[in-house]
Every structure is written in C-alpha cells, then in structure tokens.
Structure 1
Amino acid sequence: MHQPSRRSALVGLGLGAASVFSGAASASAAPKPRPGKTTTPSPAPAPAHPLRFGLTNLGGPLASRELDSAASLAGEKPVLIQFFKDFQQAPPVSELDAVVARGATPILTWEPWAAGAGVSQPAYSLAAIAAGAHDGYLRSWGSALASWGKPVMLRFAHEMNGDWYPWSEAVNGNSSGDYVLAWRHVHDVLVAQGATNVRWLWAINAGGPVDIAGLYPGSGYVDVLGIDGYNWGTVGSSWGSTWTPAIGVFGRWLDALRALAPGKEIVVTETACTELGGSKADWIRDAVAYLDAQPDVTGLVWFNLNKETDWRFNSSSSAATAFTTALSARE
C-alpha cells in the first residue's frame, strides 16, 4: 500500500505497507524470453456475485477476536482474508489453516525482501531471484503449499509498478524485463514442487509510475488480476492528495488491466478511505456499488488498519453503518 508521490517520505522511514505485518528504464520493453517448460494453470472459475467481502486486519488470521469483531460490525464474515509474509519467513501453514477454518479463502501476499529494510536490497534483486539465488527457500514454500493442498491465492511481489519496493524495475539495480523473469521463475519452482493448488494473483498499484504492460508475466503464469487503490483525501495535502471517488481511483486502471489480460478475474486486493476531506460514509457506499457493478471484479479486500490515517471501515459510526448497508445492497 503506497501512494507514489509519498515514496521518499515512506522509504526514508523504512516503511512499506507490509512492515506492520512482517514481524507479522521503461517497463514497456518486451520481456526477455525464458527457456524451459511452462505450465498452464487451471482455468479461473466463473466470476462470483455478489462481490466477495475480504479483509486485511492488523493481527492477521490468528487474531480471532479481531476478525470476529470486524465480521460483527460488517454484518457478515469476510470470505477473503489477506495477510503478508516476506522472504525471511517460513510457510505460514497455521495461518492458512486458520483462514480455512473461518470458511474463507486466503490471499497470501508474499514479498521478496527483508520487510522494512528499504528499496536497496541487492540480495533480493529480480535478477538474483530469476538466477536461482533463493531456490532452496522457494522449494520449501512450494513443498509446504503442495502438502497443505487447499486453494490459496498467492499475491507475489505486488505493486510492482511502483518504485517503493526492491522488486520494482525502477530501483535496486533491476532492469526492464527482469520482473517477468523473476515471476516466471518463482512460479515454475513452486509448480515443480507440486503446488498446483496455488492461484497466482498479479496485483498492481492504482497510481504506480511504471508502465504495467512490460510487467505482465503472461496468461499462462497469472490466474487472477489484482489492484490496490485508496482514497487518500487530504491526508497527503503536502504532496497533493485530494478527495477522489471510486471511479477516479480505479476506473482507468481497471480498463488497463482488461486491455492487458482480457477475460481475467479481478480482485481489489487493497482499498480503504480516510475520514479527512469528505464524507467517508458516502465514499464507501459509492465504492462498493461501483465495484459490484463491474462484472469481472469478484472481490473487495478492505485494508482495515489505523496506519497513515484511520483506514478502518468502522473509523466512525457513520462509516460503519455505511459499510454494512453497502455490503447488504450488493446484487
């Protein structure tokens, strides 16, 4: 979760969206071909309606009381639960089990870095990943996910079109085409371990400065498209943020995803709204209705944290009421 124009402030502090969890060249150039056998994942299921409600919470899947409280406030249980792990952490089998025990599908955001250590991390350059520097670690994850065996959406190296993570082609010594090579390599290593239960979720930022066209690994390597987008309101008045309706946050980026990968299912993998600069209750009602009207958008994951601002859907009583009403109004 980042706003591009805030990059210097956040990176200077060593902050990334996942830092609260992990203790918990132009990209338009054609990607370099990668030799070797590729695999074709199972077709994505038909988009489900109503729009699925998902949640990212502070404590993650093991924070049962927190998730129960959010479900009670929302008027329904989230059926998508997202959490974050970096390349320092073991396969989170207990957390995956906790998600499934709640009747939900896990979205596991897997970040190739030491979380919070800044964008200059040569050990985690895209070229190093593609060259096999982390293959032992990748194989351990692939084997664990294969043994676990249940469906999981794996959101690897998200917001790659920004410049605030070391897997961006704009930083860390990376070059155009490197992201696709790294993604395909990670995909193939996990598949070789039998992790065919993984659905690969490729998620952009609605505002990143790098062209997404050269970052797409190809339909044989991606099952689900994702997008992260926020209404920052006047939180970042120093860098020019303004109150932005949902169509302004997502519209052109959804069109770009559809043009890049026609027919793919789309999940809004992170979204939220501040209270500063307008009516959060109105924004929530409009955003849920807008996304529910998109036939290929099958999920909305709310970033339910008090971080740069109070993003939680229950940051005020009016926002909480609007959220519950908006969910119940889905068609």
Structure 2
Amino acid sequence: MNRRRLLGLSALAALPLAGCKTYRSDEVPPPIGSPPAPSPSATSSAGRSSRVLLGAYTQLKGLTTAEGIALRKKQLGRPERIVHRFYSWTDALPTSLPYVTSASTVMVSWRGPYYKQVNNGSSDKLIAKAARRMAQRKVPTMLRWAWDMNRDYYQWGGPSNDQDAAGYVTAYRRIHKIFGDEGADNVSWVWSPNWNSYPDEDWNAFPNYYPGDEYVDWAGVSGYAEDQTPGEMFDQFYETYSARKPIMITEVAVTDRGGSTKPDWINAFHQWMKSRPAVGAVCWFDTDIHPGSTEKWRIDSTAASLKAYQAMSADPLFAG
C-alpha cells in the first residue's frame, strides 16, 4: 500500500461516512510514526469504528517546544497523536524532529508564495528539494500546504492573487506532482481552507480552491470561535466533503469571553465530533504567544478549560 494512504483515506476506511450535500502560527521545528490502525472494537454512539487523532500546535510562553509537549503529555496522560508545526516557503522542511516520538505523527504546515512563483516553474527546484527531505523522513507525514487560502491573511490567498482560485489549484497540483516524482509517497496531503471566506464572495468560496479528490488525502478546515457554535463553523464543510474524505479540524481554538464560555465551547466541540463519524483528526491551536494576538488559546488558560479539554482527551473516541 502506498504509505501516504496510511494517513489518508485508508486510515478511516472502516468509518460509516455521513451523507453529503453538494455544495494560522509559527516556528521552526519536528519526526514521526504512523498512528495505530483503526480498532474494530473502538466504536462510539455514532457508529464510529475508528478513533480520532487528537493533536495540537503547542508553543507556550516560557517553555521550549519540547517542554511544552512534555507538559501536555503529563496533563493529558498521553502524547499528542499529531504534532503540528509551521514552516516558511524557503525553510528546510524537517527530516527529523527530536521532540516527537513514534507515538505521534507530524503535520507540517508549509507556507506558500504567490501562485505565479509555483505555476511559472521558477520554484520547481525548491519544491523538489522539499519533497526529497520529506521522503528522507521514511515515516508517514502530513503536509498542509498554503492553508486558509480563502482569506485575505496571506500572500498565498486568493485575494492576494488577483482573485484567482484556479491558480491555487494549479499550484497545488504542480507541487503534488513534483512530490510524487521525487518519491515522497510517505506524505499525506491535507487541504485546509478556513471555515469562513473573506471576502465572502462567490469566487472566494472554499470549493473553488479544492484541488480534486486524487490530490487530497484529508479534507481539513480551520476555525477560531468567538460566539459561534461548532456546528455553525464546521457543518457546511463537513457536509460538503464527509462522504468523500476523512475530515480534519486542522486549527481550532476559542476566545475566552469570561465565565464558563471557553470550557462550555470545548464541551460542545467534543459533542459535535462524537456525532460526526467522518472526523478523523483534530489539532488544537495550543499557544499563548501567537504573534499579533493577546488571546490565550492554550488549553490550560483556566483550570475549568483544562478540565474540559482533559475530559475530551480521555474519551475513548480519541486515540490514546
């Protein structure tokens, strides 16, 4: 079996997928092993026959990356199933990461350039070098290229590229092909728009950026909650892709609006996942030092928030 399938469709092959309607972060990092195969005995009330990989991007004030990951292992009683790290377009992607054990899988979020820098062939050597480094890992690795492309945050977003969603698709496919040519078949491809498009215009809707089923192993979506419910944020995406791909919530966190709002949202998110059997992975944005933000997205910003997250993590739904 092609190794990238271990972290893509076949990882959830036993899932009874739901029906379908048509329709951010940073630092140098982490190695990895593949997650356990789905257990036939691991079922939930939703009829799920595979567990959910619960992981995080962890970067905490006053701690190194390794120390932050060790703290979470102590608090949760298990390692993160996915260790999420961010890289710039010209960074050397990691062939190994000393603070990641074989119990975890690395997800590399790789920033992009303007589309023309990929589509005109001028970046082919850079892409090929990155692909060879990923192949050197020799273990399943998730690659999330140019995420949140349907927002105006980044130079790789459609709004920064003359509203050219098709140009994103062309660039994604070119990178995918080069990785294949270089033998990086241990890479599992995570396509990941934001839950809401900005500007909210037809040309910028997330389906316009979809590269196609043969180029995507995980359909991922990111979202940071304020007063939205998990369903308001993620149901449309879920309904669009859940019959075709395993779903990953690639970046998620919630603003603390005081009182019990943050633990309440974590509890609601927990329940949302339990009733969505195509969800196969979740990565919390676990940090309090994100550039340009004063929000404490970390899971232990309050004792009640940590307790809610620990309860979610301890659910048999998640791989331990």
CA distance in 2, matches of 1:175, 1:244: 29
Which runs of structure 2 are paired with 1:165-314 in the superposition (5 Å)? 165-173=154-162, 175-208=164-197, 209=200, 210-232=204-226, 243-258=227-242, 262-276=243-257, 279-306=261-288, 307=290, 308=293, 309-314=295-300
Q: What amino acid sits opposite 2:280 in the alignment?
A: T
**Could you tell me which of 64, 67, 70 is aligned with 1:65?**
67
Paired amino acid for 1:311: W
Task: Report what 1:144 is aligned to.
Answer: 133
Moved more, 314-323 or 272-281: 272-281
> Contact 2:27–2:85 (CA<8 Å) still a contact in 1?
no
**How many residues align structurally?**
266
Spell out, residue by residue over 1:171-201, the C-alpha distance to the aligned partner (whole angstroms, 9 max, x if none): 1446241011000001111111110111111
**Which stretch shows the higher mean deviation, 50-59 or 314-323?**
50-59
Q: Is the 8 A contact 1:50 1:292 kept in 2?
A: no
Distance, in Å, in 2 between the alignment partners of 1:297 and 1:105 is: 17
Across the aligned residues of Structure 1 and Structure 2, the Cα RMSD in angstroms comes to 2.2
Secondary structure of the residue aligned to 1:49 is coil
Higher relative contact order (CA 8 A, sep 6+): 2
- After superposition, what is the alpha-carbon deviation per residue over 1:125-154, rounded to whole angstroms, capped at 9, x for unaligned? 212211211111111111111122110010
Q: Which residue of the partner structure matches residue 105 of structure 2?
A: 105
CA distance in 1, matches of 2:312, 2:51: 12
Task: Give the % identical residues.
Answer: 24
**1:140 match: secondary structure:** helix
Q: Is the 8 A contact 2:188 2:218 kept in 1?
A: yes
Structure 1: distance between partners of 2:316 and 2:274: 6
**Distance in 2 between residues matched to 1:81 and 1:92, nearest whole Å:** 13
Structure 1: segments with no counterpart, 5+ residues: 1-16, 25-44, 113-123, 233-242
User: What's the CA shift string for 1:20-56, capped at 9, x where partnerless?
Assistant: x2466xxxxxxxxxxxxxxxxxxxx878633221010
Structure 1 residue 76 displacement after superposition: 2.5
**Structure 2 residue aligned with 1:83:** 85
Gaps of at least 5 residues in structure 2 are 1-23, 30-36, 39-47
Q: What's the TM-score once normalised by structure 2's chain length?
A: 0.77
